[in-house]
Amino acid sequence: MTDISHPGTAGRGIDRSRAIYWGVAALTTILVFGPITPIIFQAFLDKPLYDNTAVLTLGNFGRLFSEPGMAGIFFNTLYFGALTMVVAQVFGAVMAVLVGRTNLPGRKWLGEIFIWPLFVSNLVIAFGWFTMYGPSGFMTLAAKTYLGGAPWNLYTVTGMGIVAGLSQAPLTYLMCLAAVTKADPLLEDAARSTGAGPFRALFSVTIPMIRPAIIYSAVLNFVVGIEMLAIPLLFGGPSGIQTVTTFLYNAGINAAVRPEYGIVGAAAVILLVVVAFLVWLQGFLMKGAGRFVTVRGKASRPSTLDLGAWRWPAFLFVFAFAFLTIISIFGGIFMRSAVSFLTPLIPFWKVLTTANFEQVLGSATYVRSIVNSVLVATIGAAIGTFFILVIALVARRSDFKHSRALEYIALFPRALPGIIAGLGFFYAVIWLPGADVIRGTIAVLILAFMIRYIPVGFGAIAPALAQVGEELDRGARISGADWWTTMTRIIVPILKPALFSCYALLFIHFFKEYVTAAFLYQPGSEIIGTTMLQLVAQGDNGPVSALATIQVVITAAFVLLARRVMGARIYG
Amino acid sequence: MADLVLQNLTIKYGAVTAVDNLNIHVASGEFLTLLGPSGCGKSTSLFAVAGLNHATSGTISVGDRVLFDGNPNNTVPPEKRNIGLVFQSYALWPHKTVAENLAFPLTLRKIGRAERDERIKEALGLVEMLPYADRYPFELSGGQQQRVALARALVYRPPLLLLDEPLSNLDAKLRERARVWLRELQERLNVTTIYVTHDQAEALAVSDRIAVMSMGRMRQLGTPREIYERPADSFVADFIGSSNFFDGTMVESGTDSARIRLADGGEIVTPPGPTGKDGSVVVAIRPEKIELTGSTGPNTMRVSIEQRTYLGSVWQYAVRSGPIEFRIQTPSELKEDSILVRIPQEHCAVFPDKPGAN
Ligand SMILES: Nc1ncnc2c1ncn2[C@@H]1O[C@H](COP(=O)(O)OP(=O)(O)O)[C@@H](O)[C@H]1O
Ligand SMILES: [Mg+2]
């Protein structure tokens, strides 16, 4: 056999792989720090960012703390976050163990119901709670009429915290379920063989194994609580209760009337620091906890614990939870959208109407917001998947010397609350030269959402990438392929299922997002979430419920399609 | 075809020196084996030649082409080295058929369709896998995957072939057949080959020369016979085949023989060799070289048999003379409890220390 020409001499041009490494690293850095930098500047400037006469100052922080009611706002935020976390953890973990490890009747369909809330925004959920359990909600009126009183009041910080906790329980449920079902049943069997009863075995072996999942989701839910907008806005607004998020929202929206840039910047920086600390704490607590118990382990069928006589009482408990906090919430939204007036006192069919949908579909603005939402989700998720894929490939599968730094930067948005991402992008498009062209378009929404959800997409791709042996890359390299060819021809085709999952997750997140868009949309670039926010503020509950229903229906259709056709794995 | 020259190749990972100052000249068409225990730096050396990891210093060149010389600007990336490499795990691309696996390197070299098909046929023919061209890797047995991996490494006719424990995932019988077949193929193609294995029998069977490595360093480079019969140090004597080691002290050292006192008080005559600082030495002798004898004389010892093991082709005995314990092998069974053995001078080797002492 004779030697054939070196592929290198064919002239593939200068090293394009390195160009891609640096290009992706630069783009990621600009996109992640682009919105944070102006906020930090603004926090330390005495005048608006774009005012050339502005000078550095610490005064904004002083003004922030001397603002009346500020201490209360911070206290509300922390209390609300903590309560959200505790309620979500208790219910989520209990449901996960009952559904994942016991012979609870109906555990299969109950488990399906538990993940519904993860597909929709907490704005929709909050509206559902308002419709059912608000002061003149369906359940509230029913309880008053038939039971003689409704002992709940959502318009307090405690009420809000419980609602937020119950609506976040599915997140805890999902993470603990993964841990609980992957836990090796042999260990439990071993405990039982040493004489422990089944409950004892469950508590002494299985529960400690899901501890990492509980710690992880606890911090996550605390963060979600702190940065949540919908529930404090809907329930705190009428009674004058504020959290940092609603403060930022109101101050930011009203900034045209009351120029409070400095204070807004200062509050945003404090929120950013707190969340960044929590995310760091999460990583710190997870260290040595076996990273994530969920990924390991064989797909062995976990043994189920026989509840015996407790089966039906347990079923009642779990079903009541699912019915009162999920089914009734979704049901309330659907019902509200189909009637002119939702009350248990008048028979349903007497108030049936299509007026809510007619109102939505008859308005160019509302229709446009639906179209925009679909566009942002379909196009944005595609661009996002591609961008995140390249980040993951450079961070995990290249010899780029800053690959670790790139991954840190790419994952930083975990610590970036939506409201701050929105505010930051709002500043950035004014501040960065040339960025003005995308102001008020859906392009800026796509960009902002994409940054915010890099970690979500990365989480879908990275584990799949880790499953692909490095020798496959090496084999391609030595066969004559440069890095980029190796990635596109060998690795990406193998990753296809994970890419579908990434696309589906991004689609769902982009489609339900509203907080990040609150400062960024303008007439013409509204999305369902921002339109709902506006309508909620006006008390226009009919069209809100119609929009929410449309959003849920489109999401459900997409999830079905993604699972059936693309085989995407979304939440289990 | 081309020579491969490694000069002062050193590869460090942080504080760990995986490969320490390796110097090897592999002649064109030669079959050279890197042999050593797991973790001694064989794969690291091989991958440095392929360009798949970063050497720290030294030079690597093939023919007149420098692949690595410590200057990052001169480092040739793996895809431009034109080297064939077979991985321990085969690393066949799971989403491509056998033919597509082979087509990939050819497409990258912009070889036209007709010639490409021709070459794929030829390479699959070489490894007797032609009927499997349209199968996916998961539809093949381990031995078949191994052959496809070899065909993929050969299809673009690289002047240099690297093999990283390619047979270690096969079962014992198949492994023995595969190594004969592999060597025949290599001779037919006359491709310069570096073969990595931790299996000394495999290395002895296939290689023109063997480089024995331990803890990142090359201990000896030579033909299988040289390595087996004249090990350079006690590590090699112990790792290749097996050896008995007798502690002793040098009594008298001449130009072609030495006298050594053993721990049981007796003396034996051996070839000369280096001694430790205090004059202590170890004498290495392979169990199968120790002879039974009928009469006392130089280098004979009376030993008692402590343990008998039947190994199929031979019997092995653990024997003792005073404090000295060692093993001998005989083709037939011994009934006696005490026998007279002779340690042939020409099969002894003298080293300053025991394996693992340095
Ligand atoms: N990427 C790496 N990072 C750190 N240490 C490594 C790396 N690759 C190899 N080593 C170390 O180098 C030594 C030699 O490894 P290797 O060449 O794989 O041994 P083997 O002879 O079994 O093929 C080992 O101690 C291993 O731990
Ligand atoms: Mg190895």
- B102 contacts in chain A (CB < 8 Å): none
The values of phi and psi at residue B41, to 5°, are: 105, 15
- A494 contacts in chain B (CB < 8 Å): 93-95
Q: What is the pLDDT of residue A572?
A: 62
Does residue B307 contact residue B320 with C-beta atoms inside 8 Å?
no
Name the minimum distance, in Å, from the CA of B304 to any CA of chain A.
50
Probe site for chain A from B108, B155, B190, B191 (most A CB atoms < 10 A): B108
C-alpha span between A154 and B87 (Å, rounded): 64
- Which of these, A384, A337, A382, lies nearest to A361 by C-alpha position? A337
CB spacing of A8 vs B80 below 8 angstroms: yes
3-state class of A223 per DSSP?
helix
Ligand 1: residue of B11, B16, B56, B215 to mutate (most ligand atoms within 8 A of CB) is: B16
Cα A299–Cα A305–Cα A309 angle in degrees, nearest 5: 155
Q: Dig out the tokens for B145 from the structure.
A: 């995957």
Take atom 24 of ligand 1 and give the residue whose Cα is closest: B39
Take atom 17 of ligand 1 and give the residue whose Cα is closest: B41
Q: Which residues surround ligand 2, an ion (CB under 5 A)?
A: B 43
Probe site for chain B from A16, A398, A478, A495 (most B CB atoms < 10 A): A478
The per-residue pLDDT for range A214-262, each reduced to its tens digit, is: 888 888 888 889 888 889 988 888 888 888 888 888 877 766 555 577 7
The values of phi and psi at residue B302, to 5°, are: -95, 125
Alpha helices in chain B (DSSP H): 42-50, 98-108, 113-126, 142-154, 172-189, 200-206, 224-229, 234-239
Name the minimum distance, in Å, from the CA of B84 to any CA of chain A.
7
Of A10, A478, A481, the CB nearest to B83: A478
C-alpha span between B279 and B249 (Å, rounded): 6
Q: What is the DSSP letter of A58?
A: S
- B47 contacts in chain A (CB < 8 Å): 474
Residue type, A465: L
**Structural domains in chain A?**
23-35+355-572 (1.10.3720.10), 69-353 (1.10.3720.10)
Name the minimum distance, in Å, from the CA of B51 to any CA of chain A.
8
Q: Which residue has the tokens 């073969």?
A: B195
Interface contact B86, partner A, CB < 8 A? no
Task: Tell me yes or no: is domain B243-351 CATH 3.90.76.10.
Answer: no
* Partners of B192 in beta bridges: B160
- B78 contacts in chain A (CB < 8 Å): 474, 477-478
Task: Please name which ligand lies nearest the alpha carbon of B89.
Answer: 2
CB spacing of B93 vs A479 below 8 angstroms: no
Name the band, by pLDDT with cuts 50, 70 and 90, for residue A303: low
How far, rounded to the nearest angstrom, does the alpha carbon of residue A6 sit from its chain's CA centroid? Answer: 50
Task: Please name which ligand lies nearest the alpha carbon of B56.
Answer: 1
Interface contact A18, partner B, CB < 8 A? no
Of A1, A399, A475, the CB nearest to B157: A1
Name the minimum distance, in Å, from the CA of B330 to any CA of chain A.
46
The per-residue pLDDT for range A41-76, each reduced to its tens digit, is: 888 877 777 777 777 777 778 877 887 788 888 888
One digit per residue, the tens of pLDDT, for chain B of length 358 reads 578 999 999 999 989 999 999 999 999 999 999 999 999 999 999 999 999 998 999 999 998 899 999 888 888 999 999 999 999 989 999 999 999 999 999 999 999 999 999 999 999 998 889 999 999 999 999 889 999 999 999 999 999 999 999 988 888 888 888 889 899 989 998 999 999 999 999 999 999 999 999 999 999 999 999 999 999 999 999 999 889 999 988 888 888 888 999 888 888 999 988 888 888 899 999 999 999 988 888 889 999 999 999 988 899 999 998 888 999 999 888 888 899 999 999 999 999 888 876 5
What CATH class does B4-236 carry? Answer: alpha beta
User: CB neighbours (10 Å) of residue A479?
Assistant: 31
H/E stretch holding B293: none
Q: What is the pLDDT of residue A292?
A: 43
User: CB neighbours (10 Å) of residue B298?
Assistant: 11
Q: Which residue has the tokens 């009428």?
A: A238
Q: What is the pLDDT of residue A1?
A: 39
DSSP symbols for B84-102: EEE-TT----TTS-HHHHH
C-alpha span between B285 and B12 (Å, rounded): 36
CB spacing of B79 vs A477 below 8 angstroms: yes
CATH 3.40.50.300 maps onto chain B at 4-236
Q: What is the pLDDT of residue A293?
A: 41
Report whether pLDDT(A147) > 90: no
CB spacing of A6 vs B85 below 8 angstroms: no
How far, rounded to the nearest angstrom, does the alpha carbon of residue A277 sit from its chain's CA centroid? Answer: 19
Atom of ligand 1 nearest to the CA of B44: 17
Q: What is the pLDDT of residue A302?
A: 58
Alpha helices in A102-243 (DSSP H): 107-115, 122-133, 138-146, 157-182, 185-193, 198-201, 207-209, 211-227, 230-231, 237-239
Ligand 1: residue of B10, B11, B12, B13 to mutate (most ligand atoms within 8 A of CB) is: B13
Question: What's the whole-number mean pLDDT along residues A176-183?
Answer: 77
Residue type, B347: H
CB spacing of B77 vs A472 below 8 angstroms: no
User: CB neighbours (10 Å) of residue A272?
Assistant: 21
Does residue A452 contact residue A516 with C-beta atoms inside 8 Å?
yes
- Which of these, A233, A231, A109, A218, lies nearest to A163 by C-alpha position? A231
The per-residue pLDDT for range A458-470, each reduced to its tens digit, is: 988 988 898 888 9
Q: Could you tell me the distance, in angstroms and rounded to a whole number, from the CA of residue B43 to the centre of ligand 2? A: 4
Residues having CB within 6 Å of any atom of ligand 1 = B 13, 16, 18, 36, 38-44
Name the minimum distance, in Å, from the CA of B111 to any CA of chain A.
10
C-alpha span between B7 and B59 (Å, rounded): 5
Mean pLDDT of all residues in chain A? 84
Lowest model confidence (mean pLDDT) among A285-294, A400-409, B240-249: A285-294
Residue type, A21: Y
- Tell me which of A101 and A404 has the higher pLDDT: A404
C-alpha span between A254 and B329 (Å, rounded): 96
Q: Dig out the tokens for A248 from the structure.
A: 């930022």
- Which of these, A536, A514, A549, lies nearest to A356 by C-alpha position? A549
Name the band, by pLDDT with cuts 50, 70 and 90, for residue A14: low
Atom of ligand 1 nearest to the CA of B213: 21
Residue type, A485: T
How far, rounded to the nearest angstrom, does the alpha carbon of residue A25 sit from its chain's CA centroid? Answer: 25
Q: What is the pLDDT of residue A188?
A: 66
C-alpha span between B234 and B220 (Å, rounded): 11
- B108 contacts in chain A (CB < 8 Å): 7, 479-481, 485
Q: How many residues would you count in chain A?
A: 572
